[in-house]
Amino acid sequence: MFNSKNKSDMALDKPTNGNGTTLIGSGTTLKGDISSNSDLRIDGTVIGNIHSTAKVVIGANGVVEGDISGNQADIIGKVTGNIKAKDLLQLRGDSVVTGNLYAEKLQVEPSATFNGQCHMGAAGSRVSEKHDVEEEEAVLQ
């Protein structure tokens, strides 16, 4: 009677614990790097690098111009840049990737397109770590 908010509105006011999925929606363009400890889903456009300690999903309408790193990556959209997945990397649907892939495990559907080099298993992890060190050294110089 005295409160104008209904229960569903009040639930939106409560802070989350950070374990949800971060969404960059369709029609949104973000310029800059993203760093997250939770899952990410990109359905819009990101011009910059993406780093997550969890899973990164690039939706069917998602476009990324930059490098992606995460525990897992599920690509359905378009990526121009290197992708590093500590565990499973999936190229699904009509995905288009132009860049190098570094993953422990790789799954590519027949309709996916990939142009670049692929480094898998322990060798992919070592190359990925070496690549990170080289990038850090280049930034420091």
Domain boundaries, the chain: 13-140
Cα-trace Rg, the chain = 18
CA distance 65 to 79: 6
pLDDT of residue 48: 98
pLDDT of residue 14: 42
**High-pLDDT (> 90) share of the chain, %:** 70
pLDDT of residue 12: 42
pLDDT of residue 13: 43
Torsion angles phi and psi, residue 71, rounded to 5: -65, -40
Nearest 5°: the CA angle 19, 100, 107 is 65
Max CA pair span of the chain: 65
**Which segment, 4-8, 17-21, 83-87, is predicted with the most confidence on average?**
83-87
Q: Report whether pLDDT(58) > 80.
A: yes
**pTM for this structure?**
0.76
pLDDT of residue 3: 56
Q: Is the distance from CB of 64 to CB of 96 less than 8 angstroms?
A: no
Q: Report whether pLDDT(32) > 70.
A: yes
**Tokens (6 digits) for 46:** 């990101």
